[in-house]
Structure 1
Amino acid sequence: MYKQLLSIFLLAITGGLLFNLLHLPLPWTLGPLVITIVWKSALKKTVYWPKKLRNMGMVVLGYMMGSPFTPAVGHHVLQQLPHMLLMSTTLIVLCLATGYVSGRYTGVGLANSLIGSLPGGLSQMSVICEETKGTDVSVVTLMQTVRVITVVFVVPVLALHGITGQMTTAGARLVTPMGSDELPVLLFFLLAILGLIKLAKWVRLANVYVLVPVLGTALLVLAGIHAPVLPSPVIALAQIFVGIRMGSDVDFNSLTNWKTIALVNLLTVLTVIGLLLGTAYAFSLIYPMSFVTAFISMAPGGMSEMGLTALAANADLATVVAYQLFRLLFILLAGVPITKWLILKTLPNRG
């Protein structure tokens, strides 16, 4: 067990170094992710990577994502709530529309195509489909996996090489060294986040390791506590922990028609991304945000991955994380119930 753990960790570091040397986007997330998929699927090797290690990485990344939320930023976010609602609604409509088309071509059924196309996170959608009539966990997981992998590859490339952004204070945070006198403050943040995670588990809050570190850190910063900047190696290590787990969750062998489902879903996700480019450009002309910030904010990817993309592209990190967080909450609180209602209303008529 520990030998497998060490083997995949060393391979993941190698993948990250390779992606970094090739100047590929998000090297310390995508490098470990790809090397893990190759090791597991192509070479048929066993991958052991506990969720606890992934969760440790999510705590670190969540802290990094929540740290830009100063009181001034919080006031700015409150002013943009109508924009967030409009952006989130637009994205959900685009995803559900292309998901419907994907379902017609692949024959996976309406329930699978709609739940599988919702940009609400791989783990959340997998759990939700278990509670939704007419869905298949394997199909939904495959569709969500293709979406996540496509977005975390394509969006950073477009943001970094296709759209020009301007340097922001959020983008400069990674190069600011952390002083030794800030270690006690960092420890306080860590203990506070772990305490909030324990409380969230007690009240049965879903996906605590994604939401709580970001919200907990943001609330402490909004309360006036300065969040120390983490060293770059710590952030890279957190990305490796998360990337390995993402790769280990990918399993295409349980579906006989997975190639068709994956190809059609890939095309629909690319279509959504293309439409988002035009939509984001229009939003950047109407609302006070740059093109690259609007595009990453609307991208149907994970909050951590899009936040890291925002850092690399010199976009406004606080705005990107705020929009991504709002979208996730909006989908879980409104998007999923509405989608379930559509499924329940349609399934009886499909006989």
Structure 2
Amino acid sequence: MVLSWYTEKKQTVNSKEVTSQLYSTLKVLASASLGVLLFSLLHLPMPWLLGPIFSVMLSQLTISTSWSWPKPFRNIALIILGAAIGSSFTLSAFANMGHYLLYMLLLNVILLLFCILLALITMKLTGMAFMTALTASIPGGLSQSVAFAEEHKGIELGSVTYFQIIRVLSIVSIVPFIVSGKLNVAPVEIEATPLWLLAVYLLLAYGAAVIGEKLKFPVAYFLAPVLVGIAVNVAGIQPIAVPDSLLHAAQLAIGAYIGLMLKPDMIKLPWKVVVTGLTSSIILLAFSYCCAMLLSRMLGLDIVTSFLSTAAGGMDQMSLIAAALKVDATVVTIFQMFRLLFIYFVVFPLLQWLAGFFSRKEELNIQR
């Protein structure tokens, strides 16, 4: 996958540019590795994820040079993560889905209403158009929200991109610090899987991810391997343990990718937009924590699992944090998957209708 990425690059640019691209990637790898080392020495939570996020982000914002991290690195990391979480799914986890369904629906409806309120406040403070503020405030998938903004002329793409990226960065960066002091979960020892079986399992996960991408699965490189893991468990095959070393490498790859999201030019947006984006992300995080406390009491889940289930981060990022912290990643994935599907099949169609409504209204005003 990575080799094909560089091959495609080589077909369109000369060898000098390919060398420059490779050098940029090595700089990101060095920065990410330094972040892991510093976070480990300082005994900070999740050094393999948070270390690369902060070190790469600060490097990009402070050092004026080219930075590059091939998307296939991130995709391979998502395959490893999805395979690890999929192998932990059990039949009892599916039995609980029916029990969780009403709570998941209520949580997402409440979240949607709260985000509409945030959008109205954002519109007042920044002067954004309502559709821009709403698209920026809804915690949908980053790529999907940006793609939606690109398709509609009345939506300001730069502001939506900044809001969505700063939300992901805030949640992924802050949540581990909040939950690390609340862990009270004994890690479960799983028998090591033979190397050949692990290799077959990961190859199946990779094949499923490629097919899932062609079928337009949401977060295909994560979700398809999860489904492979579920199928393996349903088939009665022994649980396949993904080694911590692979999970660490996956965290580093995803952390470097996230760290590069915040581009220097985004800070050049109007200061009201920059400050409001960061503030709304923190408010949304606080709201999610309140929902997590209620969920913990109603369902008897530990607060860490509840918070990761309700936090408005990406499904892959929240599941990654759950896997790294050794809490119940299956519950987190179920809640995050439901939120993702709710956004795709309820919220985005609603946004589409609203965009059309405002567009028709603007055309009528022009005609008058």
Please report how far the alpha carbon of residue 125 of structure 1 lies from its aligned counterpart in structure 2 after TM superposition: 1.6
Please point out which of 254, 257, 261 is paired with 1:245.
257
Q: Which has the larger radius of gyration?
A: 2
Bigger relative contact order, structure 1 or 2, given CA contacts below 8 A and separation 6+?
1
Structure 1 length normalisation: TM-score? 0.89
The whole-number CA distance in structure 2 between the counterparts of 1:188 and 1:165 is 33
Residue matched to 1:230: 242
The whole-number CA distance in structure 2 between the counterparts of 1:319 and 1:16 is 28
Residue matched to 2:133: 113
1:334 alignment partner AA? V
Deviation digits for residues 69-121 of structure 1, max 9, x if unmatched? Answer: 11121212233222222222222322232133123211232222211222222
Pair 1:252–1:87, CA change in 2 (3 A): same
Pair 1:204–1:176, CA change in 2 (3 A): closer
Question: Are the aligned partners of 2:169 and 2:258 in contact in 1 as well (CA < 8 Å)?
Answer: no
Residue matched to 2:232: 220
Please point out which of 111, 121, 138 is paired with 2:158.
138
1:318 alignment partner AA? T
The whole-number CA distance in structure 2 between the counterparts of 1:103 and 1:226 is 53
Pair 1:262–1:221, CA change in 2 (3 A): farther
Pair 1:215–1:85, CA change in 2 (3 A): farther
Please report how far the alpha carbon of residue 153 of structure 1 lies from its aligned counterpart in structure 2 after TM superposition: 1.8
Please point out which of 150, 158, 170 is paired with 2:170.
150
Question: Are the aligned partners of 1:99 and 1:268 in contact in 2 as well (CA < 8 Å)?
Answer: no
Indicate whether 1:166 and 2:193 are aligned: no
Pair 1:26–1:93, CA change in 2 (3 A): farther
1:112 alignment partner AA? T
Indicate whether 1:35 and 2:49 are aligned: no
Question: Are the aligned partners of 1:185 and 1:227 in contact in 2 as well (CA < 8 Å)?
Answer: no
Residue matched to 2:120: 100
Please point out which of 57, 67, 71 is paired with 2:77.
57
Question: Are the aligned partners of 2:323 and 2:329 in contact in 1 as well (CA < 8 Å)?
Answer: yes
Choose 284-293 or 230-239, whichever is displaced more.
Answer: 284-293
1:1-351 alignment to 2 at 5 Å? Answer: 1-161=21-181, 164-167=182-185, 172-173=187-188, 176=190, 178-179=192-193, 182-253=194-265, 256-311=268-323, 315-346=327-358
Choose 188-197 or 310-319, whichever is displaced more.
Answer: 310-319
Please report how far the alpha carbon of residue 206 of structure 1 lies from its aligned counterpart in structure 2 after TM superposition: 4.3
Please report how far the alpha carbon of residue 244 of structure 1 lies from its aligned counterpart in structure 2 after TM superposition: 1.4
SS at match of 1:111: helix
Pair 1:141–1:227, CA change in 2 (3 A): farther
1:6 alignment partner AA? L
Please report how far the alpha carbon of residue 43 of structure 1 lies from its aligned counterpart in structure 2 after TM superposition: 0.8
Pair 1:213–1:129, CA change in 2 (3 A): farther
Structure 2 length normalisation: TM-score? 0.85
SS at match of 1:229: coil
Question: Are the aligned partners of 2:77 and 2:251 in contact in 1 as well (CA < 8 Å)?
Answer: yes
Choose 39-48 or 282-291, whichever is displaced more.
Answer: 282-291
SS at match of 1:188: helix
Question: Are the aligned partners of 2:205 and 2:225 in contact in 1 as well (CA < 8 Å)?
Answer: yes
Pair 1:218–1:262, CA change in 2 (3 A): farther
Please report how far the alpha carbon of residue 256 of structure 1 lies from its aligned counterpart in structure 2 after TM superposition: 3.8
Choose 308-317 or 84-93, whichever is displaced more.
Answer: 308-317
Deviation digits for residues 199-252 of structure 1, max 9, x if unmatched? Answer: 223333343223222233223323323342222221111111112122223214
Pair 1:313–1:230, CA change in 2 (3 A): closer
Deviation digits for residues 126-174 of structure 1, max 9, x if unmatched? Answer: 222222342233221111111011111222222223xx34315xxx25x
Q: Give unpaired runs (5+ residues) of structure 2.
A: 1-20
Pair 1:258–1:160, CA change in 2 (3 A): farther
The whole-number CA distance in structure 2 between the counterparts of 1:15 and 1:211 is 28
1:167 alignment partner AA? V
2:340 alignment partner AA? L
Alignment size in residue pairs? 343
Deviation digits for residues 266-285 of structure 1, max 9, x if unmatched? Answer: 11121122222222222222
